[in-house]
Amino acid sequence: MSDDPIVQMTGIRKDFTGVRALDGVDFTLRPGEIHAVMGENGAGKSTLIKVLTGVHHPDAGEILLDGRPVRFHSPGAAQAAGISTVYQEVNLTDNLSVAENLFAGREPRLGPFINFRAMRRKAKALLDDIGIDLNVAAPLSSYSIAMQQLVAIARAVDIEAKVLILDEPTSSLDRDEVAVLLGVMRRLAENGTAMVFISHFLDQVYEICDRMTVLRNGQLVGEWATADLPENALIGHMLGREAATLEQIERTAAAHHVEDEAPLVQATGLGRKGSIAPYDLEVRRGEVVGLAGLLGSGRTETVRLIAGADRADSGSLVFDGEATGFHNPRTASARGIAYCPENRKTEGLVGDLTVAENMILAMQASRGWARSIPVARRDKLVAEFIEKLDIRPANPDMPVKNLSGGNQQKVLLARWMLIEPKLLILDEPTRGIDVGAKADIQKLVAELSADGMSVLFVSAELDEVTRLSDRIAVLRDRELIAVLEAEADMTTEKIVDTIVAGGHGNE
């Protein structure tokens, strides 16, 4: 590895309307290295990356690329200088074909005209190289999100970037897809491409990265070689405290069993064609029921039927002793069901409204629009929840879109807690957020259920499901295959075994 850094950022500062997102951060990237930027949500990782890629302009500090000072005014300019980025959300246009997405803006041409044949051939070769096989003439929208993400990576790779930035690229990928991606990254590193890798999956970070830079609250904590920084020390640096929080939660789970009463939710043969096979599921009062399964196994579809977000076409649902067919989330929420959907940006929060406004939305709706909530009461409630959930920055008047993912998730949770539902449905509440916020949210779920609220908890992370749930519903191939009682000896292996054994033969 050469010692001359390819990127050197010094003293970077960035303010957003009164909040200092980055405060004098240094960052050094050397050719051929894979460098992780670690930190909690809101630590400033995304801001740092966006400064480097020309999305944001720093208020102070200097960026050297190949030893020369640079200042990018747009992502296009950064890309032209050799800095390519793959974002967490797929940023391609799905109305165009795969090949067009790969080569948009730099299509092979004959004179002024695009040479579609050459473009398809090159696209095919590029994807072959990476190890994916797609119909490159098909519209991108006809592929899964995971595959679209790999296409985005292929695009970034082909730009022959000197620097490739991967911002949470694996959060929507399954294990095989992650393996393909990490393979591609290793090969690029061998060819001298420097990579910045941001991920909440510590095992991936430890598997692939040479070096780590840790940020906390917009400030630099330090830079280490991966080998010199064991995992618990890393977590300690990220949180700024000893990582004891996670362990506390283990004790709270499975400590309570509410028996005998009629269940709060009783679904019998509930199903929807093409979405989830008919299933039976009970949720008792004060119980946490986890839903486990692979991506696309029907976890979200299962809870959407109970939440009234989708209409069931078979079976029946009894909620709180009454037969119901919820036709929309509004009637469901009136009966005491709160649903936090998976995609918090598009389905949950209103980005331009403030933290306080987002929090009281559901409460206001349940009171009816004519009866406004007194300002003093509103302020008190909002302040209480900001404190309780440790929302940062603790500013009720900040637009929600300026918050980091974990804090947005907390605002969403606060919204539903304000109306004190009987059943809280959480769909991937901890996806894409950092360890600290994850611990806060898990702790909260445990507390809520101790107070008697029932919780349906969907998560891709099996250990999280295991830790929190009283019972675990296991799904596979859009079918509920088993409901496991979480005894003290429940392990993730048991869930995996159930998934493997419970399906239709071995595929």
Partner 1 sequence: MSTQTLTERPARSTLFDGVTRYIPIGATVALLLVLYLGGIASFPKFDSPQVVAKLFIDNAPLLIIAVGMTFVILSGGIDLSVGSVMAFSTMCCAWLTVDAGLSAPLVVGLVLAFGTLWGLGIGAVIHYFNVQPFIATLVGLFLFRGLTLQISDTDVSMRDIQFFHWGMEHLVEVGKIRTGGFWLPNLSFVAFAVVIVAFVVLHYTRFGRGVYAVGGSEQSALLMGLPVARTKIGVYAVSGFCAALAGVMAAMGTKSANPLANVGAELDAIAAVVIGGTLLTGGAGFVLGTVAGVMVWGLLNTLIAFQGDLSSWWARIAMGVLLLAFILLQRVLARSGEKRRT
Q: Which stretch binds partner 1 (CB under 8 A): 9-17, 141-149, 251-259, 283-291?
A: 141-149
In terms of Cβ atoms closer than 10 Å to its own Cβ (0-12, 13-18, 19+), residue 44 is buried
Q: Does 93 bind partner 1 (CB under 8 A)?
A: yes
Strand runs (DSSP E) across 256-391, as ranges? Answer: 265-272, 276-283, 288-292, 314-319, 322-324, 337-340
Q: Does 183 bind partner 1 (CB under 8 A)?
A: yes
Angle at 444 between CA 439 and CA 445, to 5 degrees: 100
Q: Are 274 and 233 in contact (CB under 8 A)?
A: no
Q: Does 100 bind partner 1 (CB under 8 A)?
A: yes
Q: Does 253 bind partner 1 (CB under 8 A)?
A: no
137 vs 484, beta carbon nearer partner 1: 137
Q: Does 134 bind partner 1 (CB under 8 A)?
A: yes
**In which residue are the tokens 């970037």 written?**
161
97 vs 498, beta carbon nearer partner 1: 97
Q: Are 151 and 96 in contact (CB under 8 A)?
A: no
Q: Which stretch binds partner 1 (CB under 8 A): 178-186, 317-325, 331-339, 464-472?
A: 178-186
d(CA 421, CA 75): 44
Alpha helices in 218-374 (DSSP H): 231-239, 245-252, 299-307, 329-335, 355-367
Q: Which stretch binds partner 1 (CB under 8 A): 31-39, 95-103, 325-333, 356-364?
A: 95-103
d(CA 162, CA 178): 22
Q: Which stretch binds partner 1 (CB under 8 A): 11-19, 173-181, 331-339, 371-379?
A: 173-181
Q: Does 74 bind partner 1 (CB under 8 A)?
A: yes
232 vs 346, beta carbon nearer partner 1: 346
d(CA 133, CA 31): 30
Count of residues near partner 1 by CB under 8 A: 51
The torsion defined by the Cα of 145, 56, 236 and 28, in degrees rounded to 10, comes to 100
310 Cβ contact list (under 8 Å, min separation 6): 272, 275, 301, 304
DSSP one-letter string for 381-403 = HHHHHHHHHT-SS--TTSBGGGS
Q: What kind and span of H or E run contains 485?
A: strand 479-485
Q: Does 192 bind partner 1 (CB under 8 A)?
A: no
* Closest CA relative to residue 173, chosen from 142, 187, 194, 152: 152
Q: Does 303 bind partner 1 (CB under 8 A)?
A: no
**Gyration radius from the chain CA atoms:** 24
DSSP state, 86? E
What is the closest distance, in whole angstroms, from the C-beta atom of residue 31 to partner 1 in the complex? Answer: 21
Instruction: Please pick, from the candidates 3, 176, 322, 487, the single residue that binds partner 1 as defined by CB under 8 A.
Output: 176
Q: Does 195 bind partner 1 (CB under 8 A)?
A: no
183 vs 230, beta carbon nearer partner 1: 183
Q: Does 60 bind partner 1 (CB under 8 A)?
A: no
Q: Does 275 bind partner 1 (CB under 8 A)?
A: yes
At 64, give phi and psi (nearest 5°).
Answer: -110, 130
- Decide the pairing of beta strands 60-65 and 7-16: antiparallel
**In which residue are the tokens 């991937």 written?**
428
Q: Does 343 bind partner 1 (CB under 8 A)?
A: no
d(CA 225, CA 100): 39
148 vs 213, beta carbon nearer partner 1: 148
Both tokens of 424, joined, read: 């809280």
Residues in region 20-59 near partner 1 by CB under 8 A:
55
DSSP state, 412? H
Instruction: Please pick, from the candidates 37, 132, 153, 462, the single residue that binds partner 1 as defined by CB under 8 A.
Output: 132
Q: Does 452 bind partner 1 (CB under 8 A)?
A: no
29 vs 151, beta carbon nearer partner 1: 151
Q: Does 354 bind partner 1 (CB under 8 A)?
A: no
Instruction: Please pick, from the candidates 60, 125, 138, 225, the single residue that binds partner 1 as defined by CB under 8 A.
Output: 138
Instruction: Please pick, from the candidates 67, 69, 113, 370, the single residue that binds partner 1 as defined by CB under 8 A.
Output: 113
DSSP state, 347? I
Instruction: Please pick, from the candidates 2, 76, 367, 394, the single residue that binds partner 1 as defined by CB under 8 A.
Output: 76
Q: Which stretch binds partner 1 (CB under 8 A): 136-144, 191-199, 258-266, 433-441?
A: 136-144
Q: Does 202 bind partner 1 (CB under 8 A)?
A: no
Q: Does 147 bind partner 1 (CB under 8 A)?
A: yes
Instruction: Please pick, from the candidates 15, 26, 94, 420, the single residue that binds partner 1 as defined by CB under 8 A.
Output: 94
Position 20, amino acid: R
What is the closest distance, in whole angstroms, from the C-beta atom of residue 363 to partner 1 in the complex? Answer: 30
- Decide the pairing of beta strands 163-167 and 83-86: parallel
Q: Does 126 bind partner 1 (CB under 8 A)?
A: no
Instruction: Please pick, from the candidates 8, 85, 170, 454, the single residue that binds partner 1 as defined by CB under 8 A.
Output: 85
Q: Does 105 bind partner 1 (CB under 8 A)?
A: yes
Which residues pair with residue 35 across a beta bridge?
196, 211
Interface positions with partner 1 (CB under 8 A): 55, 74-76, 79-80, 85, 87, 90-96, 100-101, 104-105, 107, 109, 112-114, 116, 128, 130-135, 137-139, 141-144, 147, 150, 155, 176-177, 179-180, 183-184, 187, 274-275
